[in-house]
């Protein structure tokens, strides 16, 4: 499913060269629920960006579903993000001017799914996260937990190969965080591959396998 071999990524921050990923390798099989855990500045976000095809590695190779990502054009990467990856962010990243349903619909619009089909899949996704009665609400009219559930619904609406969550419970209180975690567990049980990035050991412990990242190096767990 995901195969990262010997990937390096360096940033130049002012005069300092930051080695965000230092010969990192990672292998995730289909249907796994993997927690990537590490302190801030460890290279977690860089790893997430590369897995999510938002950024490119400087060296090494990354295969997603057996496809090498390195040589794709920007538009092809946009298509891969659109079809294969469902993002869930710490701060939800919903579009404030759109309703819950419209937010969920957006990736389907970019996929050029027909209107009737779109409406069906939005309804399914909303039902899956239990927010059917909130579909016409705008993000500001929803609680944090509800907003994150809308984000999850947006991520699963396209039936992606991979759900990629970056600190999904980071902005939520422990009770709603628990709700979201249970949602991820359920989604994984239904066969979705989930990669969850966190600094919280307790959250990581809920996943099927924990991968530790420190100073840009990955220690794969079992």
Partner 1 sequence: MFGQSMKMAFGAILSNKMRSFLTMLGIIIGVFSLVVLVSLVTSATGSVQAQISEIGSDMLSVNIFTDQGKPIKAADLAEISENEHIGKVAPAGTVYVTAKFERDSADVTVYGTTASYFEIQNLKIAEGRTLRGFDLENHTYVAVVDANVAETLFPGKSAVGKGLSLNGTRFEIVGVLESNDSFSGMMMGWNTVVVPFTTAQRTFSGFGSIRSFYATAASSEDVDAAEAYLREYLTARYGTEDTFNIFNMNILAATMDQVMAVFSLLFGGIAAISLLVGGIGIMNIMLVSVTERTREIGIRKAIGARRSSIMSQFLIEALALSLVGCAIGIALSGLTVLIFNIAARSSEMLSQVSVGLSPTVVIVAVCFSTAIGLLFGLYPANKAAKMRPIDALRYE
Q: List CB contacts of 135: < 8 A, sequence separation 6 or more.
A: 99, 100, 101, 122, 123, 126
- Return the residues of window 167-206 that contact partner 1 according to CB under 8 A: none
Q: Per CB under 8 A, does 95 bind partner 1?
A: yes
Pairing of strands 217-219, 209-214: antiparallel
Q: Quick one: which segment of 64-72, 104-112, 186-194, 214-222 binds partner 1 (CB under 8 A)?
A: 104-112
- Return the residues of window 56-85 that contact partner 1 according to CB under 8 A: 74-75, 78-79, 81-83
How many angstroms separate the CA atoms of 120 and 110, rounded? 16
Q: Which two tokens stand for residue 170?
A: 């980071």
Nearest to 50 by CA among 3, 111, 110, 83: 3
Which C-beta is closer to partner 1: that of 110 or that of 185? 110
Which C-beta is closer to partner 1: that of 8 or that of 220? 8
Which C-beta is closer to partner 1: that of 67 or that of 202? 67
Nearest to 102 by CA among 156, 146, 150, 143: 150
Residues at the contact surface with partner 1, assessed by CB under 8 A: 49, 52, 54-55, 74-75, 78-79, 81-83, 87, 89, 93-95, 97, 106-107, 109-112, 154, 158
């Amino acid at each position: 499913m995901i195969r990262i071999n010997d990937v390096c990524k360096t940033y130049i921050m002012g005069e300092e060269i930051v080695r965000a990923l230092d010969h990192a390798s990672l292998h995730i099989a289909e249907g796994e629920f993997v927690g990537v855990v590490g302190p801030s500045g460890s290279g977690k976000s860089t790893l997430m960006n590369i897995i999510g095809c938002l950024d490119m590695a400087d060296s090494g190779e990354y295969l997603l579903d057996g496809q090498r990502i390195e040589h794709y054009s920007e538009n092809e990467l946009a298509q891969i993000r659109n079809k294969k990856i469902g993002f869930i962010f710490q701060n939800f990243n919903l579009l404030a001017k759109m309703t819950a349903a419209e937010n969920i619909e957006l990736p389907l619009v970019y996929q050029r799914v027909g209107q009737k089909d779109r409406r069906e899949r939005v309804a399914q996704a909303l039902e899956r996260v239990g927010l059917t009665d909130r579909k016409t609400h705008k993000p500001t009219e929803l609680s944090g937990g509800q907003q994150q559930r809308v984000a999850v619904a947006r991520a699963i609406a396209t039936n992606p190969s991979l759900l990629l969550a970056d600190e999904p419970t980071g902005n939520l209180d422990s009770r709603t965080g628990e709700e979201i975690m249970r949602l991820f567990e359920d989604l994984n049980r239904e066969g979705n591959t989930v990669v969850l990035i966190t600094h919280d050991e307790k959250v990581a412990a809920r996943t099927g396998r924990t991968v530790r990242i420190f100073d840009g190096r990955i220690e794969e767990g079992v």
